[in-house]
Structure 1
């Protein structure tokens, strides 16, 4: 076995994953929102119609994920690059659209392509490459994507002011492709054994450099029929639903009489916190374990909701609550990924996580409806925050029970 010298290739893989996430997931689900208002005005539709793009993207992801679980280990780098290219090509084509229907159709196929470049692929690859510091690596990859997106968001607005939204969208898609495609082709590899290497930290754990590195865990055929699977899927679905509250901070700010700039700054603060929290949550999970780490940061999310409940008339509290509340969004990435790895092991991790994520993304597509409907019915965001607190507690219960029941599931290695 050839030894690597200097920096382990796993860190290059992590950087590539961050570029892949940015050039597909965060660009085409978050930053693309900057194009909604001018595009809606040009197409003569209301904002709610064009925002359905996000809903159909999530539905597309949910439809694609079952195939990801079965095909992921068979797809070469060129295949992943192809799915990344598909997303950028469709986004570029949307710049020429003259009907909102094309946004919905395009959004669905972007979602299908994204299912092969998003959370399941990234988490599986980094779990394969990192025996130690897995949580940190997953969190850092998402954090890198957040940094790139934080730069791209104002840049896209500047481009629209200079050359119009249609031309700016073509440039936006080209930048996404320039990030994601080279990363998929040259930086990201499914597992270290395909490069004749061992994962980062393997020697420290195994203490036997010459041994093979078997994947140990619950076989998918047992996991998918277990109550632990149902509970983890429910935990992800509920987290998806409450995490969308970040997008409604401007509505909350307006409802309590804040200036519009306060709502916008709440989103900016959440984005800044996201950069730091991704790596911090990952490092916490590495330190104290997936279950305790997940529950601890979910408790932080509860504190954030309490702060927001008392933030009317106090912008600084609103900013603090928005920042800490981003922990919910972070837990969707490194948090759930680590819980799945802990409960079910790594043997069939990709397949199990794909089905769990399918349920989660399907639930996420209705998260916005749940939040807005609750606000409309009650006329106040206070009940929205109470709802989020109750759901966060339920999520913790699901994760704890899933872990307890998961200990009873049969585990085998991939060489058995």
Structure 2
């Protein structure tokens, strides 16, 4: 095996993953709402007419994710991520050239194709291949840059819109997306350590503990076997409802103002959600590595649930309660992308991880697509987020229950 050097190559894989997340989520997803209103006003249409492209993006991801595992197993991940990065940069940049709403929907579908692999399909698989120790911590650090990227580029986007207009802003952001993704996807990313004649981080310790023992094949069940088990549908329920509940984050600015706080306070509330989201990736990853997935689930989902309760009563207890709720909800929000991959591997093993993971994660993207529209409709119908928050509290309770039941079912899979 090739000498690893002072810094194990797995950590460069983590850096590359962080950059990809910062671009594909921090810019393309998180900065999109900042641009909606400027485009809508220029086109003289409603904001919902523009934001519909985001729903189409997530619906496309939902449709494609079940097939992503086969594609990832058949082709080199470097090529897949490079093509996806080019597609997303072009689709996002072209939005700055459109003169009507419909082309935005075409770009939304294209973004869905690229994001299937950039956000959901590839990175957890790569990280699981490169890390045999500190999997949760490394994945948590990489995913934290979804929030870090959003916090940084949200400010950049606001400044750009005021200085050069929304059209040029789309183009500049698209160039940044390409810069963050393509050098790493081409020159750094490798699917497995064996492609560089290396071993995974932590593999040496595993080998020392298993000296004179023949290396065992990856344990776990095939997708076909998994789908015949109730555990598969419990994990899918957990993942889908977690994604649905997480969409409350999109409504925080409107909620803050709906209960009488100022627009400035609303912006600060969003900042607290972002801080919680970013810190939550590190925190939940570390908790998983040290105490196990069950403790991480209680910390993440429990934090989100308490955060929603705090938001619900913040109009009676003041702005401090609102900020605390936003921070705690951000921690729960971070778990919606970090915890499902860990649960999936814990329940079904690594033998057919890619295929099982991409199929189950389609439930998350469907939840996001549904939640974004559903919660808006409920607010418009009632003029309050009270019903929305009660529903989310129930969703969190079902989410923690289904995840624990699925983990207990693991014993019956016999692998």
Coarse TM-score class (shorter-chain normalised): over 0.9
> Alpha-carbon deviation of 1:53?
1.5
Alignment of structure 1 residues 256-405 onto 2, 5 Å:
256-313=259-316, 314-405=318-409
Stretches of structure 1 that go unaligned for 5 or more consecutive residues are 412-416
Q: 1:301 to 1:11 in 2, by over 3 A?
A: same
Looking at structure 1, the residues matched to 125 and 245 of structure 2 have their Cα atoms a distance apart, in angstroms, of 25
| Residues 306-315 or 340-349, more deviating | 306-315
Matched-pair contact (CA < 8 Å) for 1:253–1:259 = yes
Alpha-carbon distance in 2 for matches of 1:152, 1:252: 23
Partner of 1:45, secondary structure, is coil
In the alignment, is the contact (CA less than 8 A) between 2:62 and 2:365 conserved in 1? yes
> Which piece of structure 1 moves more, 303-312 or 14-23?
303-312
User: In structure 2, what is the Cα distance between the partners aligned to 1:241 and 1:345?
Assistant: 26
Query: Matches of 1:355 and 1:388 in 2, distance apart?
Result: 24
8 Å contact kept, 1:203–1:209: no
The farther-off stretch of 257-266 and 390-399 is 257-266
CA distance in 2, matches of 1:401, 1:24: 33
Residue 198 of structure 1: SS of its match in structure 2?
coil
The answer on 1:116 being equivalent to 2:117 is yes
TM-score, normalized by length of structure 1?
0.95
Residue correspondences, number: 411
CA deviation map 1:132-181 (0-9, x unaligned): 11111111001123223321111122112111111121111000100011
Aligned to 1:414: none
Q: Is the deviation greater in 55-64 or in 71-80?
A: 71-80
Structure 2 counterpart of 1:236: 239
Determine helix, strand or coil for the equivalent of 1:28. coil
State the Cα deviation string for residues 210-264 of structure 1 (Å, max 9, x = none): 9657322111110122211111111111111111111111221122111121122
Give 1:10's aligned residue. 10
Secondary structure at the aligned position of 1:26 is classed as: coil
The Cα shift of 1:209 comes to 7.3
Deviation at 1:204, TM superposition (A): 1.9
Unpaired runs of at least 5, structure 2: none
Question: Aligned partners of 1:146 and 1:408: how far apart in 2?
Answer: 37
Is the alpha carbon distance of 1:306 and 1:237 closer, same or farther for their aligned partners in structure 2, counting shifts above 3 Å?
Answer: same
Report the aligned-residue RMSD: 1.7
Q: Residues 26 and 60 from structure 1, CA distance in 2 versus in 1: closer, same or farther, beyond 3 angstroms?
A: farther
2:186 matched residue in structure 1:
185
Does the aligned pair in 1 maintain the 2:66–2:360 contact within 8 Å? no
Mark the CA change 1:302 to 1:335 in structure 2 (over 3 Å): closer, same or farther. Answer: same
- Cα distance in structure 2, aligned partners of 1:53 and 1:205: 46
1:64-75 pair list within 5 angstroms: 64-75=64-75
Q: Is the 8 A contact 1:66 1:355 kept in 2?
A: yes
